[in-house]
Structure formats: structure tokens, C-alpha cells
Structure 1
Amino acid sequence: MLFLTIYCSSCKNNDQAPTAFYYWKQNFALGTKQVQLLKNAGCNKLYIRFFDIKWDTKNNRPYPEAIVNFNGLTPAQNITPVIFITNQTFEKLDKDSINSLAIKSLALIERLTKNQHIAYQAIQVDCDWTMRSKESYFSFLSTLKAISKKKLEATIRLHQVKYQFKTGIPPVDRGILMFYNMGKLSPDPAAPNSIYNPGDAATYISSLPRYLLPLDIALPVFSWSLQIRDGKIIQVYGKIGSAELSNTAKFTPAGKMVYRAASSFFTGGIYIKTGDIFKLEQTDKNTLDQAAQQLSAHLNKKHKRTIIYYELGNLNLSAYKATDFKEISAYF
């Protein structure tokens, strides 16, 4: 078994927020270049998605899905388990089953961490709760914190910051502000980037100084393509990027970051029809610079916070350097 040690050097710099990464793929296996990136970026912390919890409509109960498989690689330090839970789960769950879900969730986390000798200090829960699910979700969080005796974190969307007294403040130790996916997916080729655009962000971030939870920050390092047919989005693909869309034998440019299929064909099991429009929404170093400058202006730099990049498992390593992450984290 290969034991992975992730070293941290620049995280000791008190003038810069620590750098960390999410890892969201089901199979956890870091390559040599990923390990080197973590070392050079001064990162000693990973937030690993351990499993999802979804609602089984057939059996009318929650169930775990996509449980992480470590593939013989064991992280050595500073791992925070993350569990993603659908909002539907808490809309359907009856009150008597909330404690049971918390107990079973903790048991699965404990089994996975013990198998990999992970001594974790916190648990993070990712759920985009609503007014209908708030009571059940917050009850789940309270129970999970009580029985785990660990620090508890929850992801926070921008609208939950702006309307905190309406949406509620989760009973956790820290929030993680997801500073991405802030706009609606649009089939309009001219619509702004839905992953990050300063216009949508500006309508929310003035509320940040008044938010009642301490916040860490999650920033995007991912891209996707919207497949548009007859004016409607039919699918979103994370694996179709600029390299594929720049193939002039298959696509022709149809605007800024917009491409039109020149013929019908299959790629990676995906059917593409002549005339299909692909709208590429991506992030890069310039995007991160803009997002970090805009966001950091509304945060108290005296408050210690971690900057988490989403996500390492599918990160295009040719698009970023370790120094990029150091520079971005330095804004905070």
C-alpha cells in the first residue's frame, strides 16, 4: 500500500490563507503530478467526498451512493470527509428517521476512515437546503454534531448568505461559501458564464460582512460545456472542453466560447447531431483573479479562513501552476 504524505510549507505564512482542495471523484487515486502540485502549492489539506445520500423513491428511504474507493492510496494527514445529501432526502424524510440517518452516516464515515487510518477532526456536509427541508436538515446536522463529537461544517450558497434570516443559519461550526454556480444555465450563447460572473456575484456579496457564521471559501477550477439543440439545453458535459471543441474537423466557431457541430457523430458515447451548439463555460487563472479580488474586498482579512479549490480529481493540470493557487489564496 502506498502512503501519501502531503507536505505544507507556505501554509505557515500568516499573511496568506491556507490552500486546500476538494477531491470529488469516486475512485481516490492521486497521480505523481497531483501530489507534486499539492506539495508545491503548500497544501496539506484535502476535502474528500466520501459518499452521496439520495432518496430511493421505490423503497421510500435514503440510501448511500458512489462510496469512495481509495484504490490503495492512503492520505496521511489533514483529511476532512465530505458527504453530499440531496435536498429531496430531507423533503421526504420523516422526523423519526432523522436521527437514524445521522447515525448511519457517521457509521459509514467511521468505517471508511478507520480502513484508511484517517484521523479526521471535522465533517463537512453539502446540501442545498430549502425552506421545506430546512427543519429536517438542521435537525440532522445537530444530531450528527452531537454523536460525532467532531467539528461540523456545511456548504453555503450565495442566496443563503443574502437571505440568512429567511433560509436559516445551519447549526455548524463553520460554513464554506461556494463562490461558483451563481447564475442559471442558459441556452442563450450570449448569456454570462454561469460558473462565475461578476454581475451575478455583485447582487449577493454585499451581505457577507453580516453573515453570522465564520466562512471558508470554495473557488472553481472546473469547466463544462452545454449541449444546445433547438434552443434548449439537452445536457451538460464536464469532459468536453476546449481541446475537443477546437477540432475544426468536427466543430466550427459560432461566437465567443460557442461552437457548432459540423456533422453528426459520437464521441465518448455521446451523440452529437449536425447543428448542435456547444457553449463552453470555463474558469482559468484570470477568472480566479477576478473572483478573488471581488470576493476578498467584502471579507475581513483578520479572520482566518481556508481557500478550497473545486476540484482536484478532474483538474486540468496543464491549465494551472502551483504558484497560481498561492497567488489566489494570498488575496484572502
Structure 2
Amino acid sequence: MFRYFRWFAIVIITQITASCRKPGTASTAFYYWKTGFNLNEQQTTLLKQTGNNAYIRFFDVSWNDKQQRAYPNAVVQFNELPAGLNITPVIYITNKTFENIPDTAVATLAGHCNKLINDLAGEKHISYTKVQVDCDWSLSTRAKYFSFLIAFKKLNQKQLEATIRLHQVKFKDRTGVPPADRGVLMFYNMGKLNAGLHQPNSIYNGDDADKYIAYLGSYPLKLDIALPLFSWAIHIRDGRVIQVYGKIGRRQLADQVHFESVEGEANYRAKTSFFLEGIYIKQNDIFKLEETDSNALDAAAKQLTQHLPKQKHTTIIYYELANIDPEKFNAETIRQVSARF
């Protein structure tokens, strides 16, 4: 009897301690990845309710094979900026750019990128304190990419962030650690897209993440975290993946006139050939729906906090605001996830 009461008391104390634990102090932010920056009322309200922080993709840097040069692509077009919005410019650079650009042109590319960021910011009187560079570099492009970051930082003089993939955390001795002030761990897109209808979710699944996150404690850069808010449908024909669509979701696939469920509630077969959202769908094509919901976000946050070193200032960046589903994600849901950090 005494042992029972002692066990019961321990459980109660543990629950009280857990309920009194202070929430984390992480900041909340959102990526915005569309070329046209134009927020609707729901997006504006969500930003205001969660801290008014936006990481806006200003442009991509791509490689032109014909002209043999790097060029800015998908440059953002600003419409109206909400008052009080804290903006961090983001640029995405294709790995192909660093595969092809000569070593002697890397510093020049850094200068062009810095100028375009400042020109775009100047047009809308955007004051920024940091820049994020997104590039999934490889072993063969590491030297040129790291040289780019050094040259860019020297010119820009703001805090420099670099995106980090999970494999780059685990194999940091091979892939290298980018010369940046801070890293941003992209905690999604973990598995390979595949046509297997019973394969784990490739956006986020805990088993794949477990192979890497134990190495977070030894990573030398302080890390912010990027978490997914998106879902997509994988288009499969004759057993092969032919495309991935973010604009096709459960609402479209639940149309029983055109689709039927097959091998689970997240897989759909086309009953007939037709066009959907401008996309040609052939009879018997399969769509495998991979979704992110609040439960997946919460699981990702719990998994990360078991391995992420404690730090005073962390930003949780959600990808992404332009295509968010307000029925799945509201301000309270987002705040609860961020509070875990």
C-alpha cells in the first residue's frame, strides 16, 4: 500500500511539474516563397498574431547553359507591405550555379546578389538586419559556395544565415560547415519521392529524422528551425512518379466523380481521363497524398527538442505563408508548436 501511494505521489508531482514548465521563448516566423508578394486578410492577421516576422524569397540564382552565366530568376514583386512587418530577405541559389561558375566569378556573383537585395529593399524602404542564403551544396561545390558566403558577408555586413539539411548535420566533416553567423535546419523533405503507396511520408517522418538528429548537439553553428506547413500530391503513372503538385489536395482528390480511394485513405486512382487545375490526368493515374497537420508539427517539435542544444534565441520558421491552409493551421496552433522551443 505504501509503495502504491509513493508511486501515486510521484506521478502527481511529475504532472504538476510538467504543467508548470515555462513555455519556450522562440520567435515565430513564416517563409513567403511566391514571386508576387500580396497577403490576404487571413495571412496578414496570422502574421500579426504570431510576431509579424516574414522570411521573403527575394529571388533565385540560376544558371543559363546557353549564355554560360548566372542570372536572377523569379524576382519578387512587392505589392503592399503590412505596417510593422519584420522582413528577412532570402535568396535561393541552385547548386548547378556553383557547378558551372568559374572560381574567379564567385566574388562578382556575391556583389550582384548584394546589390539586387539592397535595390529591392530600397524600393520599398525595407530595413533588414539579416539575410538568409538557401543552397543545397554538394562536395564538389562546397569550396565555391563557401567562398560566395564569405564574399557576400564582407559586402553585406548584416547577419548571414545559411540553410542546413539533415545530412549536412550528420556528415559535417565531409560536407563542411558554412561560414555563416547562423544556420537554419530544414526539418522537412526527409525522404525520397517514390511511387510506393505504403512508403513513409517524404515531407516528415520521425524514423528518417532519427537517423540524423542525434548529431545536432555537436553541430558548431547555432541553429534556427524550419518546419513544414505544406502538403502535396505525388502524381504516379505506370508505377513512376511524374510530378508533384502542391495545389492538389484532399478536397480535389475526394471528388468521387473522378477519383476512387485505393490502398489506403491517402491514395487515389483516376476513374477517367480529364483535366484538373490545368493538369492532364490519365485514367488509372494514381495520386499519393502526403500531408502535414498539427499532429505532425507537434511530433517534429518534440523530436527536435530532445536533441537541440539549449540556446537563448531561436526562431521557428514555417514553410510557407502563401499556401497555408487556415483550416489546419491557426495562430494558436503555431504558437503552441513554437513554445516547445
TM-score band w.r.t. shorter chain = over 0.9
1:38 CA displacement:
1.5
1:33-182 → structure 2 map (5 Å cutoff): 33-40=42-49, 42-73=50-81, 76-182=84-190
Amino acid at match of 1:140: F
Quick check: 1:207 aligned with 2:215? yes
Quick check: 1:279 aligned with 2:288? yes
Secondary structure class of the residue paired with 2:77: coil
1:299 CA displacement:
1.2
Quick check: 1:304 aligned with 2:306? no
Secondary structure class of the residue paired with 1:25: coil
From 15, 23, 27, give the equivalent of 2:24.
15
Q: Distance in 1 between matches of 2:202 and 2:233?
A: 11
C-alpha distance after superposition, 1:79-121 (max 9, x if no partner): 1100000000001010110011000001100100000111111
Q: Distance in 2 between matches of 1:293 and 1:74?
A: 33
From 326, 330, 341, give the equivalent of 1:321.
330
Structure 1 stretches of 5 or more lacking a match? 1-12
1:14 CA displacement:
7.7
C-alpha distance after superposition, 1:211-239 (max 9, x if no partner): 00000000000011000011000110010
Amino acid at match of 1:282: E
Q: Going by fraction, where is helix more abundant, 1 or 2?
A: 2
Secondary structure class of the residue paired with 1:234: strand
Amino acid at match of 1:318: E
Q: Distance in 2 between matches of 1:276 and 1:297?
A: 41
Q: How much is the aligned-residue C-alpha RMSD, in angstroms?
A: 1.2
Q: Distance in 1 between matches of 2:292 and 2:332?
A: 16
Amino acid at match of 1:234: I
The answer (yes or no) to whether the contact 1:91–1:133 under 8 Å persists in 2 is yes
C-alpha distance after superposition, 1:50-73 (max 9, x if no partner): 000000001000010100001233
Amino acid at match of 2:286: I
The answer (yes or no) to whether the contact 1:77–1:118 under 8 Å persists in 2 is no
Counterpart of 1:263 in structure 2 is 272
The verdict on how the C-alpha distance between 1:301 and 1:111 changes in structure 2, with shifts beyond 3 A counting, is: same
% of aligned pairs identical?
53
From 295, 307, 330, give the equivalent of 2:304.
295
Counterpart of 1:331 in structure 2 is 340
1:74 CA displacement:
5.5
Q: Distance in 1 between matches of 2:51 and 2:197?
A: 37
Amino acid at match of 2:125: H
Q: Which moved more, 1:150-159 or 1:65-74?
A: 65-74
